[in-house]
Amino acid sequence: MQEISWILLLEILYTLIVIATCLRIIYDTSSTSKTLAYLMLTVFFPFIGIVIYFCVGTNYRKRKLYSKKIVNNELMQRHIKKQIFRESEKTWNTVPQALLKYQKLVKLLLNDGMSNLSGNNKVEILKNGEEKFPAVLRALREASHHIHIEYYIYEDDEIGNQIKDVLIEKARAGLQVRLIYDDFGSRSIRDKVVDELIAAGVQAFPFYRILFIALANRINYRNHRKIIVIDGGIAFTGGINVSDRYINSEKRPDQLYWRDMHVKITGPGIYYLQYLFICDWNFCADEELVPQRDFFHAREDNGGNAILQIAASGPDSDNPTILLSLIQAIGMAEQEILITTPYFIPGESLLDALVVAALSGVRVVLLVPGKSDSRVVAAAGKSYYGDLMASGIEIYEYQKGFIHAKTMVSDKQLSVIGTANMDNRSFELNFEVNSVIYDSHTAEEMTRIFYQDLEDAIRIDPVEWDKRPLYKQFPEKLGRLFSPLL
């Protein structure tokens, strides 16, 4: 009898926990699809569903991890904001006629993220690690004042050690050298490499240290940014981490071919990247980094005239800025949208934007990996293909290797190159950064590269896709149910 009472008591307690968790999900989760997915997990998967929700489902956009401010002084913050708007307006008055249609996108990034619009930038597209790393090493060796580096993955391998050696050399020469690394993505350097850097005078900190008690939750919120800022005037950003796998070499013929994209920016367009670094540094380091004039010291006579903004978002931002910027850019396209992404789980809003563009007569082409490194994510992504192709969107699967680039080109006028995948994780959970480049020369080069990649891809036939047997469609349908959680 006593045993039955204990069982009954436990059942009542568990029921109360489930009800309390469901109420929290309803009040805390803004997305309807995500709310339903977490409710399903909680109700139909005893204990496990509740653990998963509290590990990965907490809404950190409501409970900000930190305040994204470069200074704590409110008066100074308002002064900086006014200056940014004033300089952006001056730049807008120099925009070529063909690019004036992007005014709403410019205002979105300015109002939502306080991202300055800057002109007189030199933009260099870097295809794969073979082009990125030689350019990075040259720029690092030429640094004279400071080096700021922030990476999701930094590995203890050949290229990681080459960069480490330059950082050590520069730190010993008296330069300010700071490194932010993601504690999960860069776990291979936590001990030996980081210790060597610190011993040489480099300041190095994990962005969000993983502690055992909060392990799952902190792994879920990753700093996926890849930023290098040198002497306040040169920056690198994009999809390529610090790892040998991104370098396609004849010396390693058995290595998987890795297609990726990065960008080097010279000019005032790097200021927002510097701003992001300082904010991130002040969150994770044991010192407050006060902005200095030398941190914003770009030369405008760099031989370039590209106009650009930086889109950034994460659990620190009021809105999913990167998602909103992509939706706005898609809506402004008139002729062609070319998208490359390794992980594609668009969600309802982005899916609708792409379908509306296609049905409005815009050619939309999507390039994704032929083989993904995540079967679950790939299955969930494929569940959207039928809806996309029914509206006329072309989908190609890359065959040469693994395509990891995250880019979008519109009308040979607008380019987006960044760290954000087209999935919920990038839009809601990770700290991400994209370059938004209003420049026809850059867009034409990006368009040429995209069509080169299509030569190594196979187009999915919509008719054959619809004929697939049900057993092949089932994993995709199942993945679709849980896509808001991936």
Residue 106, classified by CB atoms within 10 Å of its CB into exposed (0-12), middle (13-18) or buried (19+), is buried
Residue 87, classified by CB atoms within 10 Å of its CB into exposed (0-12), middle (13-18) or buried (19+), is middle
The interaxial angle of helices 48-56 and 32-44, nearest 10 deg, is 140
Asked if 383 and 285 sit in the same domain, the reply is no
Residue span of the structural domain in which 298 resides: 74-89+122-304
Reading the block at residue 407, the tokens are 């880019």
- Is 147 a member of any domain? yes
Catalytic pick from 164, 170, 406, 412? Answer: 406
CATH number at residue 413: 3.30.870.10
Q: What is the pTM of this model?
A: 0.86
The total number of residues shown for the chain amounts to 486
Catalytic pick from 231, 260, 316, 453? Answer: 231
List the chain pLDDT tens, one digit each, 486 residues.
555 677 777 767 777 777 777 777 776 766 666 777 777 777 777 777 676 666 655 655 455 555 555 555 565 566 566 777 778 888 888 888 888 899 999 999 999 878 899 999 999 999 999 999 999 999 999 999 999 999 999 999 999 999 999 999 999 999 999 999 998 889 899 889 999 999 999 999 998 776 543 444 445 568 899 999 999 999 999 999 999 999 998 777 778 899 999 999 999 999 999 999 998 998 888 788 888 888 988 887 777 899 999 999 888 788 899 999 999 999 999 999 999 999 999 888 999 999 999 999 999 999 999 987 777 777 888 889 999 999 999 999 999 999 999 999 999 999 999 999 998 888 888 899 999 999 999 999 999 999 999 999 999 999 998 888 877 777 766 666 666 555
- In the residue annotation, 231 being an active-site residue is answered as yes
pLDDT at 38 (0 to 100): 72
Asked if 293 and 341 sit in the same domain, the reply is no
Q: What is the dihedral of CA 385, 390, 393, 397, to 10 degrees?
A: 30
- In the residue annotation, 404 being an active-site residue is answered as yes
Residue 381 burial (CB count, 10 A): 27
User: Using DSSP, how many helices (H) and how many strands (E) does the chain show?
Assistant: 18, 17
Residue 99 burial (CB count, 10 A): 18
Q: Are strands 234-238 and 261-266 parallel, antiparallel or unpaired?
A: antiparallel
Asked if 294 and 365 sit in the same domain, the reply is no
pLDDT at 259 (0 to 100): 96
User: Quick one: which H or E segment has residue 328?
Assistant: helix 321-332
- Is 112 a member of any domain? no
- Is 67 a member of any domain? no
Asked if 37 and 168 sit in the same domain, the reply is no
- In the residue annotation, 224 being an active-site residue is answered as yes
If one counts the domains in the chain, the total is 3
Q: Is 208 left (phi over 0), alpha (psi -120 to 50) or beta?
A: beta
- Is 96 a member of any domain? no
Residue 418 C-alpha from the chain's centroid: 6
- Is 475 a member of any domain? yes
Buried-exposed string 276-308: b where 16+ CB fall within 10 A, e elsewhere: bbbbbbbbbbeeebeeeeebebbeeebebbbbb
Asked if 384 and 436 sit in the same domain, the reply is yes
Please say which residue of 239, 274, 304 terminates a domain: 304
Residue 20, classified by CB atoms within 10 Å of its CB into exposed (0-12), middle (13-18) or buried (19+), is exposed
Contact 248, 130 (CB under 8 A): yes
Catalytic pick from 404, 423, 439, 453? Answer: 404
Catalytic pick from 68, 132, 224, 382? Answer: 224
Q: Is 408 helix (H, G, I), strand (E, B) or coil?
A: strand
Asked if 237 and 143 sit in the same domain, the reply is yes
- Is 412 a member of any domain? yes
R_g of the chain, CA atoms, integer Å? 23
pLDDT at 218 (0 to 100): 46
Asked if 347 and 465 sit in the same domain, the reply is yes
Asked if 278 and 338 sit in the same domain, the reply is no
Contact 431, 224 (CB under 8 A): yes
Asked if 348 and 460 sit in the same domain, the reply is yes
- Is 221 a member of any domain? yes
Q: Residue 324 corresponds to which amino acid?
A: L
Asked if 282 and 136 sit in the same domain, the reply is yes
Reading the block at residue 290, the tokens are 């006060």
Asked if 325 and 381 sit in the same domain, the reply is yes
Asked if 370 and 293 sit in the same domain, the reply is no
- In the residue annotation, 69 being an active-site residue is answered as no
Catalytic pick from 182, 411, 423, 453? Answer: 411
- Is 277 a member of any domain? yes
